[in-house]
Amino acid sequence: SATDQIVLKGAVTPDPTTQWTYPYDRTVFPKGLLAPELMWNNGGSGNLYYIHFVGQYVDLEVFTTAEPPSRFTLDDTSWKELTESGNGGQVAVTVTRLVPGEATATIVVNNTWTIANGSLRGTVYYWSNNLGRVLRIKPGATAPEDFLAAAGQTGNCSTCHSVSANGSTLIIGGDISPSTWDLLTNSAVLDLGTVGKPVRNWAMPAISPDGKIVVENNAPLPGPPGGSDAMFDAVTGQKITGTGLDGVKLDMPAFGPDGSKLAFVDHSSLGLAVYDYDPLSFMVSNRVDLVPAGGDTNLNCIAFPSVSPDAKWVVYHRGQYSNSLDTRFGPGNLYLASVAQPGVEIRLAETNGDAYPFAAGARDLDWNYEPTFAPLNSGGFAWVVFTSRRTYGNRLTGGKDAVKQLWVTAIDQDPVAGTDPSHPAFLVPGQDLSTLNMRGFWALDPCKPVGEVCSTGSECCNQNCVGGICSDPDPTECVQDGNHCEADADCCDAGSKCINNICSAPPPT
């Protein structure tokens, strides 16, 4: 009623009994996703609610009921209007509650989100633990895609995977016959058995951004993984010698998406290190040790490094040696190391939730693993997909063994040593909540030729989109955000930076 609306809008006192569960305060959301599901606990049956969103150009009021466990999702049209009006920025979110018949309402939550000035690009390939299969999901999709099943691969265990940053090649190290899978044609390319190697040797290897080169993973993971030195041709399975890795075995190797770095964990010292990599000669050089093992007394094992799009940072998780890097058992948290300043290590406290008032309390701490950078920055941020065993609102509230989902966190485009550049994470919408999902790999989608419809240059083979069409660039003009560049000075907009050869917008103000 009009009277109840007035009471709901006039709430000034915090709600003493209702507990907010999701999304987190200060979360950064990109454009183009499904609307997040708002969730809270302990609201009584028949209660009335006022949900108020305020952005720079949008003021949206919703009056509704929500039966316990209480949930609300904004319709797609309203969410798009809220997030796509303007160039991103802050959105204030207020929820108030009124028990019918009472004279005053209470405030359930006053949160602030940030909308990034751009959408996420590419596709996340991940392992659905229960199914024993690699699935994929695009940002904004309502459900994952079982692309291997669509190609007739339904048997055995297609796990322990890696994906090239350009989205062309999948390497499978599980108990399935193809080891190299062509994602452009959705077909098998190589079975390691035909060249005399066990399939498991290519469990979670490094794969170059163009999908041509594989470096085996020597870490003592369940499986077991490989253990061979040097590099391998992803199509033929043949060893490539004379690359600087002859006689060298790497734990957890990972190529950077721009092809200039190869991060890894040293098998002897267990510290994090990085090589320069030349994609033309397949040569590594100039090894630099970044951070040693043992930086965290309880989480002293460095695992699953991933290089940022600008090749300046490496994200990874610290776990426990006693669990052989197996994320099914031990705790873990995410960290960031500087490539340019060896010794600089930043705990991603906002992402980990170190000081966040989780609805589940300590239950939600120390269960964060397997981070992977998106190949491109977007909207003024770098983006990291990771695995977490934390609860999800009031939908997934079981113990750690019952919860395992993919989450995404925004990382400031220009991290500063000594300052946490991360933000509270959000659950990847559209994934199956009934399965245990892990090890997300972020890759670009197959590029589009000149003349195809596009929304940004990174979708085009020539990395140039004009007026919604993949077009040849005009060498006399500056470069719009999302199109190909060689240096910051090429970009048209003030504050934009050339990151992985794409003009990337600054964060919203």
Q: What is the mean pLDDT of each run of 10 residues along the chain (509 residues)?
A: 97 96 98 96 92 96 95 95 93 97 96 96 93 93 94 84 96 86 95 89 94 93 77 96 96 97 94 97 97 77 95 94 64 96 96 97 96 96 97 96 96 93 97 95 94 95 96 94 96 94 92
pLDDT of residue 198: 86
List the one residue out of 49, 93, 94 whose CA is nearest residue 67.
49
**SS3 state at 447:** coil
**Phi and psi dihedrals of 371, rounded to 5?**
-80, 145
250: left (phi over 0), alpha (psi -120 to 50) or beta: beta
For residue 328, give both structure tokens.
């099914």
Which contiguous run of DSSP H or E holds residue 6?
helix 2-9
CB neighbour list of residue 389: distance below 8 Å, 6 or more residues apart: 367, 400, 403, 404
* CA angle centred on 205, ends 199 and 206, rounded to 5°: 145
Q: How far is CA 448 from CA 61, 201, 211, 472, 475, in A?
A: 40, 34, 18, 12, 20
Place of tokens 């470096």: 215
> Which residues make beta-bridge pairs with 77?
none
List the one residue out of 492, 167, 61 whose CA is nearest residue 484.
492
- Which class for 457: exposed (0-12), middle (13-18), buried (19 or more C-beta within 10 A)? buried
pLDDT of residue 200: 86
Cβ proximity of 63 and 48 under 8 Å: yes
Half-sphere exposure of residue 462, counting CA atoms within 13 Å on the CB side? 14
Helices (H) and strands (E) in the chain, counts: 4, 36
CB neighbour list of residue 264: distance below 8 Å, 6 or more residues apart: 206, 250, 251, 252, 253, 254, 272, 273, 274, 275, 305
270: left (phi over 0), alpha (psi -120 to 50) or beta: left
Cis status, amide bond into 506, omega within 30 of 0: no
List the one residue out of 503, 499, 452, 451 whose CA is nearest residue 481.
503
Cβ proximity of 20 and 393 under 8 Å: no
- Residue 169 CA to residue 185 CA, distance in Å, equals 10
Residue type, 167: G
**Phi and psi dihedrals of 239, rounded to 5?**
-70, 140
For residue 264, give both structure tokens.
């890894």
Cβ proximity of 340 and 288 under 8 Å: no
List the one residue out of 223, 146, 232, 219 whose CA is nearest residue 189.
232
**Phi and psi dihedrals of 170, rounded to 5?**
-115, 130
CB neighbourhood size of 323 (10 A): 14
List the one residue out of 309, 214, 315 whose CA is nearest residue 256.
309
List the one residue out of 471, 440, 404 whose CA is nearest residue 134.
440
pLDDT of residue 222: 67
- Residue 65 CA to residue 367 CA, distance in Å, equals 34
pLDDT of residue 295: 65
Residue type, 397: T
